Amino acid sequence: MNKGFSSFISYLLIILGALIASFSVACILLPNDAIDYGTAGISILISKLTGFNLSLCVALIFAPFVIAGAFFLGLKFTIKAIVGSLTYTLGLALFEEMPFELNTEHFIAVAFGGALLGFGLSIILRSGGCIDGSEILANIILKKITDKTGKNYSMMPILIAFNSVVYLAAFLLIDRNAALLSLLVYVVATLIIDRYTDHFEAIKQVTIITKDENALIDAIKRDLNKTCTIIDSKGAIAGENKTMICYVNYFELQKLRDIIQKNKGTFSTVTTIDEIIR
């Protein structure tokens, strides 16, 4: 019952976050000549240049990334991504028709819109969802690199490169003011996301204390294709046990949480790692 209720709440939060994000884009950012970032930004550019319906562009651009995420990130993540993206798309269609005007300067409106967007995205990410394909793409690329090299890397360089292309396109195809205002959106939204998700683009160190490490090791290898460091340890009350250390990215962390929850009698902590020196 507790697990089912927790899952229900996570979906409600994803829907809430997607509605907040779509309101920010449709009612604040777009009327003030700014665009979202990531695949949503690409969708907005296509809509502005072609006149196609914005919500339809968002759905069509995001669909391939959701399909790819199903293969690399699992069914649970994919369902949450679909719920979030559908809510975001429907929210755009709804809020575009809603009369709303923020009577203030462009700079202030865009800063506020970026903060509101970041808040909505933070709720989605903390609930295990996603409404932007650039994050899925970055995760897939990192998974391929990790599988090949055995090393863990941050998503940040990939996300910066992806969004640089989006803003360069906005600069060349729309105008410089739109590109600069959109860059402000990205900076403000990222600051908010980092504040409430503890640097989701960074590597996470998960420390697990358990008496039965074999089931956890097998699940981590099978579901995440990851290894971990195992240390003999001893608790003052529990006695002999094992301490496992595993490094994952933010989206893999959601799957690792599910693995840990299925194996009772564990104690775990999560730490954000700024840098790994080899």
**Residues in contact with 14: Cβ distance below 8 Å, sequence separation at least 6, in sequence order:** 80, 83, 84, 87, 123, 124, 127, 128, 129
Which residue ranges make up each domain of the chain?
A: 2-197, 203-273
What CATH number should be reported for the domain whose range is 203-273? Answer: 3.30.70.120
Placement of tokens 């729309």 in the chain: 174
CB atoms within 10 A of CB 134: 23
| Contact between residue 155 and residue 142 where contact means Cβ atoms under 8 Å apart | yes
Stretches in the chain below the pLDDT threshold 50: 1
| pLDDT for residue 174 | 84
| pLDDT for residue 128 | 82
Q: Identify the CA nearest to 156 among candidates 65, 250, 72.
A: 250
Q: Identify the CA nearest to 147 among candidates 84, 203, 227.
A: 227
Dump pLDDT digits (tens) for 110-126. 899 999 999 999 999 88
| pLDDT for residue 19 | 95
| pLDDT for residue 223 | 84
Distance CA 19, CA 15 (A): 6
**Element of type H or E holding 243:** strand 239-248
| pLDDT for residue 15 | 94
| pLDDT for residue 67 | 86
| Contact between residue 6 and residue 75 where contact means Cβ atoms under 8 Å apart | no
